[in-house]
Chain A
Amino acid sequence: MDEFRFNTPREKGKIDSLAADILKNVRINASFLLWMGFLFTLLAACLFAYTIQLRKGLGVTGLRDFTSWGMYIANFVFFVATSLCGMLISSVLGLIGYRWVKPISRIAEIIAIAFAAVAGLVIISDMGRPDRLPYVFMFGRVQSPILWDVTVVTTYFVLSMLLWFFPMVPDLAIAKDRLEGRPKFLVKAYEILSVRWMHHEKQYHLLGQAVRILLILIIPTAFAIHTVTSWLFAVTPRTGWDSTIFGPYFISGAFVSGTAAVIIAMYFFRVNYRLEKYLNTETFEKMGRVMVLVAIVYFYFNLNEFLVPGYKLKTGDAIHLRELFTGHYAALFWGIQLFGLIIPAILLLFKQIRRPLPMMVISLFVLVGSWFKRFIIVVPPQGHPNLPIQNVPVEWVVYKPTLIETAVTVASIVLVLIIITILSKLFPVIPIWEMAEEENGKDKISE
């Protein structure tokens, strides 16, 4: 075991060329500053809206006693859902042994980290008394699914961070001597974060074991975060939420939105970072197939969720389904099902469509559809409670999101973009050493 990896001149040359390709994007240039400036200005404007909410109370939103969970909770569910892509790509597909996921696993992890981190903040924006957040830890009751959610989302975030960081350590060691012209703090950060990595075989062995444990641990954790999120609804006796398949229904939906997010990010990095060599058409082709698979599974769960109660038409279900199929939410419902799920899945069956640009466009539809799908899951079941809504102001009857809560929601999306930008701009998005191994034809981690 007393040998160092990447020691031969041939391997060194390989690392050199890969590092040159991948590290050329690791820099703080004008466009990065401009983009960050734009994001932070937008964030500041949106956070101003949040200060209004803090001052005046949640009444500045469209939420009222009957529809008391709205855009914030829908957005939270969407974020948790999308963050599941980390588990799907690097863990499930990686452990099966698919090598084509190697170049995109870090991208998937970055998306997972960003969405999981901001999901926690989104929940705080929905709280009537955010100042009492510590009470959740001081007086927490294990019977409440909120406690389960806090626990598993935090765990998932930490595991995703580690799954992003651990496999990157050799890259940081490779990169730290190749950062001429980059800011000093960045070079320093690389030096510290590379934890004196020496490319020793023993180190790689330990790294492989650690990553493998993480990859296995993150599967039940990811299932837990979204199952528990679905239980926030399914544990209540409310028509439209009172469903036994909500766990798998949410998980399968999460795979759809997560895959879409990864494809969009892949396209962006391919074009902007000029990484066509690594994020090649073949990888897109494979991701297209994954998308078809997860979309079909999700469609199957949709069929169960809507067709079975629709067949029986129990009183409450009948009202709920009429609202979705032909009522107030019909346009949204059919728009999401058609343009966000069914048509994308059909289109992606064709090989000519499974190319980067069309896939990116389709994924945008799917991702936006996924967001509105969460809205459809969260909001309509509250509009028709068991007992009639009476003797209240008219604006309490039908939920209409306000500008302020839209702005706060935009803030959360901006925050996700900021995190993704920082993680992908200051650190290599493609794993250098793993690509070198890939070219060598050996793959220690999945051995």
Chain B
Amino acid sequence: MSRDKKEEGNRSDDLDRTIENSRRDFLRKVTLAGAVTVTGAAAIYSGHRFEKAKHREGYVKVLTEDNRLVEIPVEQMRDFKPDLKMLQSQGREGIAGRRWVMVIDLSKCRNARKCVEACQAAHHLRPYEYHINTLVMQESVNTPAYFMPKPCQHCDNPPCVSVCPVDATFKRQDGIVLIDNERCIGCRFCMAACPYSARMFHWQEPSQSETDKGSEYNVELNVPQKKGTISKCLFSADRLREGMLPYCVSACPNGVFYFGDENEDAVTNGTTKQTVRFSELIEKNGGYRLMPELGTQPRVYYLPPKNRIFDFEQGEKREYKEEKS
């Protein structure tokens, strides 16, 4: 009994305390809300004043490339459209701090040729004009056949760049070898020098030269293509500038391609979007480069076609017919 009373007494004490607490709480909240309101209003007011002071009639503030805030008259504003000069200078310079690298896993390729098609669509090429081609390879009679996607190897010691008489093809700081078809004279010395047959020439009017007419030439996309000049794989330099993977890499349905930055030691698979360590990928899978004996130092690495996930099927033979102009 006494225990019950005691409990009762305790409970009424608790109740008193709770009421007191909630009153205190209420007062605190009101004060807080008041403070917030006042501060908010003050902030809004001062913001408003600042905005009013900041905004000059007829002017707009613009952040320049070298991080300066400047004002320009509204009527002088133009939509930004990169001109040839700018495209050329950024295209020749490359992306600072990067060393692009590609890894091609031959055990996963089954000749879907999606890489080829995506590349040709992006670069306005015909079905038999290649920046990247998938080849059927067989080293000798007793070694297995396999498919090998072959883009430009973007050599660090590129024979094509050495022989170019007019600096039309050049090596950028991020490792990409590009061709400037505003400069190319069409001597084809680079084709003769390339041991990987990576280059193509526009023997006739490019397929989309009619529709491309008037558009600004982007050396990082090599579009519009030009008759009488060389074209080649660009590691999709235009996509890299926008932080995207190259066309072929993202188009592959089978996870063949990895692409990334050697400086970061990271490459991303274009299909699974999984990022792995470049050095580890090469080391664990016995990565290699094509024709190392030539000393060209390619930036494209291959993983050998072992434990292939698809059986080698030649498939039906594709026929290519040359378009006559």
Partner of B166 from A66, A140, A387, A393 at Cβ < 8 Å: A140
B18 on the A face (CB < 8 A): no
B188–A69 CB distance below 8 A: yes
B200–A65 CB distance below 8 A: yes
Q: Give the docked Cα–Cα distance between A135 and B166 (Å).
A: 7
B199–A65 CB distance below 8 A: yes
Give A128's nearest chain B residue, CB to CB: B186
B322–A236 CB distance below 8 A: no
A237–B137 CB distance below 8 A: no
B185–A388 CB distance below 8 A: no
Q: Give the docked Cα–Cα distance between A266 and B197 (Å).
A: 46
A residues in contact with B204, CB < 8 Å: 56-57, 59
B325–A238 CB distance below 8 A: no
Q: Which of A142-150, A255-263, A360-368 contacts B (4 or more CB under 8 A)?
A: A142-150
A132 on the B face (CB < 8 A): yes
Distance of B288 from chain A, by nearest CB (Å): 15
User: For this complex, into which size category does the number of interface residues on chain A fall?
Assistant: 35 or more
A415 on the B face (CB < 8 A): no
A236–B201 CB distance below 8 A: no
Partner of B191 from A57, A65, A386 at Cβ < 8 Å: A65
> Which residues of B does A touch, CB under 8 Å?
128, 130, 133-137, 150, 159, 162-167, 183-189, 191-193, 195-197, 199-205, 227-230, 290-291, 294, 296, 318, 320-322, 325
A residues in contact with B228, CB < 8 Å: 57-58, 127-129
Q: Give the docked Cα–Cα distance between A135 and B229 (Å).
A: 14
B residues in contact with A129, CB < 8 Å: 184-186, 228-229
Q: Give the docked Cα–Cα distance between A274 and B206 (Å).
A: 57
B residues in contact with A232, CB < 8 Å: 189, 192
B163–A146 CB distance below 8 A: yes
- Given A57-B228, A127-B186, A140-B166, residue A386 in contact with residue B197 (CB < 8 A): yes
Partner of B187 from A65, A127, A139, A233 at Cβ < 8 Å: A127
> Which residues of A does B touch, CB under 8 Å?
56-59, 63-66, 68-69, 126-129, 132-133, 135-136, 138-141, 143-147, 232-233, 235-238, 241, 382, 385-393, 395-396
Partner of A65 from B134, B162, B201 at Cβ < 8 Å: B201
B322–A387 CB distance below 8 A: no
Partner of A388 from B130, B136, B163, B166 at Cβ < 8 Å: B136
Distance of A268 from chain B, by nearest CB (Å): 35
Q: Give the docked Cα–Cα distance between A141 and B189 (Å).
A: 13
A residues in contact with B159, CB < 8 Å: 236-237
Partner of A390 from B135, B167, B187, B192 at Cβ < 8 Å: B135
Q: Could you list 5 further interchain pairs (A-B, Cβ under 8 angstroms) beyond the known A135-B183, A235-B162, A390-B133? A: A65-B199, A126-B188, A129-B186, A146-B189, A393-B320
Distance of B314 from chain A, by nearest CB (Å): 11
Distance of A116 from chain B, by nearest CB (Å): 19
A136–B163 CB distance below 8 A: no
B residues in contact with A126, CB < 8 Å: 187-188
B residues in contact with A237, CB < 8 Å: 159, 193, 195, 294, 296
B166–A139 CB distance below 8 A: yes
B residues in contact with A65, CB < 8 Å: 191, 197, 199-201, 203
The 6 tightest CB contacts between A and B, nearest first, are A128-B186, A128-B228, A59-B203, A146-B165, A59-B204, A144-B165
Distance of B73 from chain A, by nearest CB (Å): 40
A residues in contact with B230, CB < 8 Å: 128
B187–A146 CB distance below 8 A: yes
Distance of A331 from chain B, by nearest CB (Å): 25
B197–A387 CB distance below 8 A: yes
A residues in contact with B163, CB < 8 Å: 143-146, 235-236
A391–B186 CB distance below 8 A: no
Q: Give the docked Cα–Cα distance between A390 and B147 (Å).
A: 12
Q: Give the docked Cα–Cα distance between A128 and B179 (Å).
A: 15
Distance of B230 from chain A, by nearest CB (Å): 8
B residues in contact with A389, CB < 8 Å: 197
Q: Give the docked Cα–Cα distance between A271 and B183 (Å).
A: 51
B320–A128 CB distance below 8 A: no
Distance of A421 from chain B, by nearest CB (Å): 31
Q: Give the docked Cα–Cα distance between A128 and B189 (Å).
A: 11
- Given A56-B204, A127-B187, A147-B165, residue A386 in contact with residue B318 (CB < 8 A): no
Distance of A53 from chain B, by nearest CB (Å): 10
Partner of B188 from A68, A138, A238, A385 at Cβ < 8 Å: A68
Give B197's nearest chain A residue, CB to CB: A385
Distance of A128 from chain B, by nearest CB (Å): 2
B135–A388 CB distance below 8 A: yes
Q: List 17 A-B contacts (CB under 8 A).
A: A56-B205, A65-B203, A127-B228, A128-B202, A129-B184, A132-B166, A135-B183, A139-B167, A141-B164, A141-B165, A144-B162, A144-B163, A146-B187, A146-B189, A387-B135, A387-B197, A391-B133
Distance of A410 from chain B, by nearest CB (Å): 22
Q: Give the docked Cα–Cα distance between A27 and B245 (Å).
A: 73
B322–A395 CB distance below 8 A: yes
A58–B189 CB distance below 8 A: no
Q: Give the docked Cα–Cα distance between A59 and B322 (Å).
A: 10
Distance of B60 from chain A, by nearest CB (Å): 41
B residues in contact with A68, CB < 8 Å: 188, 191-192, 201
Q: Give the docked Cα–Cα distance between A236 and B162 (Å).
A: 10
Give A138's nearest chain B residue, CB to CB: B166
Distance of A304 from chain B, by nearest CB (Å): 23
Give B128's nearest chain A residue, CB to CB: A392
Distance of A423 from chain B, by nearest CB (Å): 30
Give B191's nearest chain A residue, CB to CB: A68
Q: Give the docked Cα–Cα distance between A417 and B91 (Å).
A: 48
Q: Give the docked Cα–Cα distance between A232 and B205 (Å).
A: 28
A residues in contact with B187, CB < 8 Å: 126-128, 146
B residues in contact with A128, CB < 8 Å: 184-188, 201-202, 227-230
- Given A139-B166, A139-B167, A387-B196, residue A64 in contact with residue B203 (CB < 8 A): yes
Q: Give the docked Cα–Cα distance between A13 and B31 (Å).
A: 134
Distance of A314 from chain B, by nearest CB (Å): 11
- Given A128-B184, A387-B150, A391-B128, residue A56 in contact with residue B133 (CB < 8 A): no
Give A148's nearest chain B residue, CB to CB: B165
A393–B322 CB distance below 8 A: yes
Distance of B201 from chain A, by nearest CB (Å): 6
B residues in contact with A138, CB < 8 Å: 166
A residues in contact with B291, CB < 8 Å: 386
A residues in contact with B162, CB < 8 Å: 143-144, 235
A residues in contact with B185, CB < 8 Å: 127-129, 132-133, 135-136
